[in-house]
């Protein structure tokens, strides 16, 4: 069952963008953006995960098209933004969290938006927090899902063996491309493989990296979701950008996004977290909740990580519906 069909009856109907564009952000980068819904509605920007995953048409459906001006953006190097990181001459030197924060602020200004709701899940929640803590005056509300802040123990849980306790069969497949001598530092080992110029090296590594993540996104296995992420170009961009960000810890101090919440205390916030999220376990959402107790904290007890899981999708829609009138 396709994601869009599964969510019929939970999210809003399918819509198409009425305006698209490419934002020239410097460094030879063009960032794709699109606008759908009501041009005079409440502005909201959707921040996709990964980093490197790109946006999909169903992401528009979290928002009431009669009340929201819906902005989707593919972050640098992925989706419909160019140059795509799967290309041989792609350069990631100018692809960091702080470049993406600056891109968002430039897009907001170029679209003539005074303030907008920022909606982000997984890596998108980290980017949303980084953006809001840097530009709180630009943010009307925050909707965060599957909270991820790139702290060392978060990365070690998922990429250095913690989650293997739950998924030993899938972990063995993740280990396969990596020489035994390098398996004590998996993120570093994959960095070498993913950035090898030989496609015979970097493509299988990218597919293995992406398969590991895609296979653990949902509470129940979803082979079609996994397959949708595994085209060579898409998997290469996804894995390379993720690994690049993770090797550099997101360019954050270890607790930066949690300790920096004083900057956003005045911003109405909803946090939605799947109880059985294996990619970004609930410990991080809980830490954010404790630091920001005024935010609404919603735990979905029958869900993992993905926004496509019914309980998470329903909670996210409730949040955007509530904020639509404010």
| Active-site residue set | 122, 277, 305
Cβ atoms of 323 and 143 within 8 Å: the answer is yes
Contacts of 11 (CB under 8 A, 6+ apart): 58, 61, 62, 313, 317
Cβ atoms of 231 and 211 within 8 Å: the answer is no
Q: Which residues pair with 46 in a beta bridge?
A: 72, 119
Q: How many CB atoms lie within 10 A of CB 41?
A: 16
Nearest CA among 35, 43, 47, 97 for reference residue 74: 47
Cβ atoms of 201 and 171 within 8 Å: the answer is no
Q: What is the DSSP string of 85-140?
A: TTSTT---TT-SHHHHHHHHHHHHHHTT-S-EEEEEETHHHHHHHHHHHH-GGGEE
């Amino acid at each position: 069952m396709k994601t869009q069909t599964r969510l019929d009856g939970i999210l809003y109907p399918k819509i198409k963008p009425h305006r698209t564009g490419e934002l020239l952000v410097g460094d030879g980068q063009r960032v794709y953006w699109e606008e759908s819904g009501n041009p005079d509605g409440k502005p909201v920007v959707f921040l996709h995960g990964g980093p490197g995953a790109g946006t999909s048409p169903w992401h528009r459906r979290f928002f009431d098209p009669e009340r929201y001006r819906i902005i989707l953006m593919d972050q640098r190097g992925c989706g419909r933004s160019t140059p795509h990181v799967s290309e041989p001459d792609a350069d990631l030197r100018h692809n960091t969290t702080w470049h993406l924060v600056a891109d968002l602020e430039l897009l907001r200004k170029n679209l003539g938006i005074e303030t907008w709701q920022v909606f982000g899940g997984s890596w998108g929640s980290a980017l949303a927090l980084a953006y809001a803590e840097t530009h709180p005056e630009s943010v009307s509300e925050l909707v965060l899902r599957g909270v991820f802040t790139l702290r060392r123990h978060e990365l070690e849980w998922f990429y250095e063996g913690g989650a293997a306790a739950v998924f030993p069969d899938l972990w063995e497949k993740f280990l396969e491309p990596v020489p035994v001598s390098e398996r004590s530092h998996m993120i570093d080992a994959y960095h070498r493989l993913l950035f090898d110029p030989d496609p015979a090296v970097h493509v299988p590594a990218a597919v293995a990296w992406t398969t590991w993540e895609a296979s653990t996104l949902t509470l129940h296995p979803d082979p079609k979701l996994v397959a949708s992420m595994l085209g060579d170009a898409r998997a290469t961009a996804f894995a390379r950008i993720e690994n690049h960000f993770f090797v550099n810890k997101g360019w954050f101090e270890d607790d930066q996004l949690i300790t920096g919440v004083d900057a956003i205390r005045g911003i109405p916030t909803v946090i939605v977290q799947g109880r059985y999220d294996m990619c970004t376990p609930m410990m991080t959402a809980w830490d954010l909740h404790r630091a920001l107790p005024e935010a609404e904290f919603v735990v979905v007890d029958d869900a993992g990580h993905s926004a496509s899981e019914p309980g998470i999708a329903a909670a996210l829609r409730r949040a955007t519906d509530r904020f639509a009138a404010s």
